[in-house]
Amino acid sequence: MAGLPDGEARYASLSDGTWVKAVAVRLSSSDFTLGSGLHGPPHSLAYPLRDMFFPLLGLAVLIYVLLPWPHRGEGIIAYDRWRMVLGDSMGLLLTIVFVGLPFLITSNAALAVTEYWGLTLVFWLIGLLGLWAVQVGISAGGLQIMVLADSLVRMTAWRREEYLFADMAFVQPAIQIPPKWLITTSWLAALSGRRGSGAALLGAQSETRGFRITMKDGRVAHIWLTDQMGAVMMRGAEALPRALTAAGVPMSTEGVTVRGMSVG
């Protein structure tokens, strides 16, 4: 069909005696722009393995959910498993959706990163929030606080910290609220549209509760035990105040408020 003008028809005879008609179609880059409606040949022909996507995706999710969970012994404080699974799922969903949307909108991978790179950049920046959520999930999933006879050991996916009871100056209740920049951004987003004020209000009022440990050398550690709605989110959290009291660590009734987004 090379060299034929657009719309030129040709006929070919097959071995079984039937005839097929082939029409030459000339395509340009304008045929693949937004709104052109051109999506190429049938997906079953161009991507014969595409039908296996959802079965393989379901199998991968099932394997992830059924993976053996580390055994938590007595005196270990850690997040419930369902919170980890939900956090991982939401983070990956946010990443995949916003990274893939530019390609679905333009129907052309090359145009998504060339002619419509501005649109792609906006969606990918939002997708970075999903990657940040995955990182938070990794940190929270690896977090465990071991209550030992003479110390607390806090382990995350990145580091290990030990706090001796004898080196603690005092412990006090602590409340963590979102940073000011996050609250301001939420309200600006809500005011710029018709919806979102409810989410902004909930974000402004959310808080997590826990303890601030002040060491004799001036170091400060925060241990958060509840979620933003006040529900205890770490299994075995009742062991922490009991161990601090048994060790004779001075407890202050004066609370402190900090701004941040730490998970443990």
Per the domain annotation, does 112 fall within a domain? Answer: yes
Does residue 9 sit within a domain?
no
Query: What is the pTM assigned to this prediction?
Result: 0.57
Q: Is residue 23 part of a domain?
A: no
Q: How many domains does the chain have?
A: 2
163 in the same domain as 251 = yes
Query: Could you read off the pLDDT of 163-199 as tens digits, one per residue?
Result: 898 899 999 888 888 777 666 666 565 565 545 555 5
Q: Please check whether residues 137 and 169 belong to one and the same domain.
A: no
If one counts every other C-beta atom within 10 angstroms of the C-beta of residue 133, the result is: 19
The dihedrals phi and psi of 204, each to the nearest 5 degrees, come to -70, -30
Is 50 domain-assigned? no
Whether 101 is in a domain gets the answer: yes
Domain of 236?
145-259
**End-to-end alpha carbon distance in the chain:** 65
Interval 232-261: pLDDT, tens? 778 888 888 888 888 888 888 888 888 776
141: exposed, middle or buried (Cβ count in 10 Å: 0-12, 13-18, 19+) = buried
The domain that holds 175 is classified in CATH as 2.30.29
User: What CA–CA distance (Å, rounded) separates 81 from 69?
Assistant: 8
205 in the same domain as 192:
yes
113 shares its domain with 171: no
